[in-house]
Structure 1
Amino acid sequence: MMQQKRSLTYYLLAGFFGLFVLFLYGPMLAIFILSLQGEEGTLTFPMKGFSFYWLGQVFQEQRVGNFTDAFWRSLLLGLLVTLLSVIVTVMSALAFRQRFKGAGTLFYLTIASLIVPSVLISLGIGIVFQVLDLETNWFSSGLGAHLTWTVPFAFLIMLGIFNRFNPSYEEASRDLGANDTKTFWEIVFPLILPALIGIGLLGFTLSYDEFTRTSLVSGQKNTLPLEIFGMTTNVTSPALYALGTLTTLFSFAMILLAIAAYNYTSRRQSQ
């Protein structure tokens, strides 16, 4: 059987898509390559040798600050944001399953922070802390800033999940004598758990690399994105590229872990 000849349009669109992929991943590939230079390496091509020297330098003290402490702050903040985002949005979505007075107003107030410029959110939180005579830092005011970003996204997803949820499972559980708490933990929670893993991954990702909303409320200790930005004018070495390589690998590891957890919970549900 003769293969149908492809049109010129097909090759033009394929070429455009290839350029688009190169535009997305070309800078990342360049960073990976430049992070594997020798000790005399610079920030530009051509490469000067090949080694893992700069990958090790990431864990050493830099000229100004260090990456390790900032990484642990971002990791801890991201995990806390993930946990709170999941808890708050599950409770909120459960409440919105029943219509109540002011539900529409509350809904739009919840998602309003998505359309407000991020820098204004950061500025507003900073002003509130100043008026209350509280010190801004990455763990308190930074946490609040990140939640204004992650909670609305997670809330919208949770509304979609519960809109497709079959209430007959809960009704059957209550008919068998289970109270609301037992029904949630033994019926509802296992069914929505795969979705919660996805929401958690989204919340962690949004928090881990958030810059603008943290910029004015982080206090004296930076998260990793702020530390990287602050070092771009001081650390003129491939250590920055090595950090980009390691954080990218860390992000891929988190994604693979979330996929594995999602597949595991999905198989448990199908059994």
Structure 2
Amino acid sequence: MTARRPRSFYFLATLLGLFIVFLYAPMACVYILSFQGPNGGMSFPMTGWSTHWYEVLFGGTGGQGMGDIAASFRRSIRLALIVAVISAIIAVSAGMAYRRKFPGSNFVFYSAITSMVLPGIFVGFGIALTFNLLGWRVNWFTSGIGAQLTWTLPFGLLIMFIVLGRFNPSYEEAATDLGANARQRFTDVIVPIILPGIIGIMMASLTSSYEETARTQLNVGTGNTMPMEVTGLLTASATPVLFAIGTVTTLFSFTLVGLTIFALSRLAKRRTMRTAA
């Protein structure tokens, strides 16, 4: 006979259900209101159902509270992809370096982690001021990337330190016994094992970069990123096109999460098959 669940289980399950409703109910309202009719506003009740605001968004005709969404989206995606790749490269390099102690390692580590707790607006202002004093141009490809790395890189370092902290060095020792050099041990042994962690770092860095505003707004030059553009639209004549933008952005984010989970599951399945063989 199966044991009955304790009452605490149902209590905690109820709390979890209420939290999920609290978390996703406002988002559901945004998705529903994105299908307002052409004369609809920013709140209920709805005035008909249509895809008018999606047509405005993808039509790229401007007006109706749209702003320069297309250009800001392309700028944010380019910036996020570059930041994700750089964060992963630096995190893996730092993780490998920290497998052995070296002079000043604690100072370097805590200096990198400190940017997680500093107010983002001050970090962004400091980077913009430094570029200005040095006479360098402030734009998304230079100061913008540097500003966002101060936010994404600490998380990438922590993830990689955890991944490599659980790495079994016996795999490297076995590869060394078989005649593998340092490059072969890294590319053929270490990287395949820590690849899920690398994918996780890139995923976290991409999403964090895409939505970051405080550190970015003073360091991207004349063009806005997607969050900055949406913030600007909120202060202007807002229309339900903002809800359409939110719906598409959420769908895009969930798609990335789904693809990441699929890739990680495939890697885990392949590793299991190799181990069984």
Counterpart-to-counterpart distance in 2, 1:67 and 1:135: 24
Q: 1:158-237 counterparts in 2 under 5 A? A: 158-237=160-239
Q: Which residue of 1 aligns with 2:157?
A: 155
> 1:138, 1:222 within 8 Å by CA — same for their partners in 2?
no
Letter aligned with residue 142 of structure 1: G
Alignment pair present for 1:22 and 2:21: yes
What CA deviation, in whole Å up to 9, does each residue of 1:79-130 have, x standing for no partner?
1111001000000010000111111111111101011111111011011111
| Superposed displacement of residue 16, structure 1 | 4.3
Q: Report the equivalent of 1:137.
A: 139
2:114 partner SS: helix
3-state SS in 1 of match to 2:139: coil
8 Å contact kept, 1:36–1:51: yes
Instruction: State the identity as a percent.
Output: 43
1:40 corresponds in structure 2 to 39
Show the counterpart of 1:251.
Answer: 253
Q: Deviations over 1:220-259 (max 9, x none)?
A: 1011000000111224210001000000000001111111
Aligned counterpart, 2:67: 65
**1:139-181 deviations in Å (ceiling 9; x for gaps):** 2111111101111111011111111111111121122221111
Alignment RMSD, CA only?
2.0
Q: What's the TM-score once normalised by structure 1's chain length?
A: 0.93
* 1:14, distance to aligned residue in structure 2 (A): 5.2
Deviation at 1:15, TM superposition (A): 4.9
Residue aligned with 2:219, SS: coil
Aligned mates of 2:97, 2:137 — CA distance in 1: 34
Residue 170 of structure 2 aligns to which amino acid in structure 1? S
Q: How far 1:211 sits from its partner (Å)?
A: 1.0
CA shift for structure 1 position 65? 3.2
Say which SS state the counterpart of residue 212 (structure 1) adopts: coil
Letter aligned with residue 36 of structure 1: F
Offset, 1:25: 1.0
Gapped runs of 5+ residues in structure 2?
none
Give the number of aligned pairs: 270
Deviations 1:45-86 (A, max 9, x none): 100111111112112223573111111111111111110010
CA distance in 1, matches of 2:254, 2:17: 22
Distance in structure 1 (CA, Å) of the matches to 2:144 and 2:187: 31
For residue 52 of structure 1, what is the amino acid of its counterpart? T
| 1:74 equivalent among 71, 76, 80 | 76
- 8 Å CA contact 2:57–2:66 kept in 1: the answer is no
CA contact (8 A) 2:66 2:241 kept: no
1: CA distance, partners of 2:4 / 2:160: 46
The SS at the match of 1:213 is coil
Between the aligned partners of 1:241 and 1:187, the Cα distance in structure 2 is: 46
Structure 2 CA distance for partners of 1:187 and 1:52, relative to 1, 3 Å = same
Q: Which residue does 1:123 correspond to in 2?
A: 125
TM-score (norm 2): 0.91
**Partner Cα separation in structure 2 for residue 216 and residue 83 of structure 1:** 22
1:185-205 per-position Cα deviation (integer Å, ceiling 9, x unaligned): 111110111111111111111
Residues 136/17 of structure 1: CA separation in 2 closer, same or farther (3 Å cut): same
Return the alpha-carbon distance in structure 1 between the equivalents of residues 139 and 35 of structure 2. 35
Letter of the 1:79 partner, please give it.
L
Amino acid corresponding to residue 121 of structure 1 in structure 2: V
**Compared CA separation, residues 185 and 40, structure 1 to 2 (3 A):** same
Distance 1:156 1:82 in 2: 15
Is the 2:76–2:226 contact (alpha carbons within 8 Å) kept by the matching residues of 1?
A: yes
C-alpha contact 1:64 1:234 (8 A) present in aligned 2: no
CA distance in 2, matches of 1:159, 1:22: 35
Distance 1:37 1:5 in 2: 45
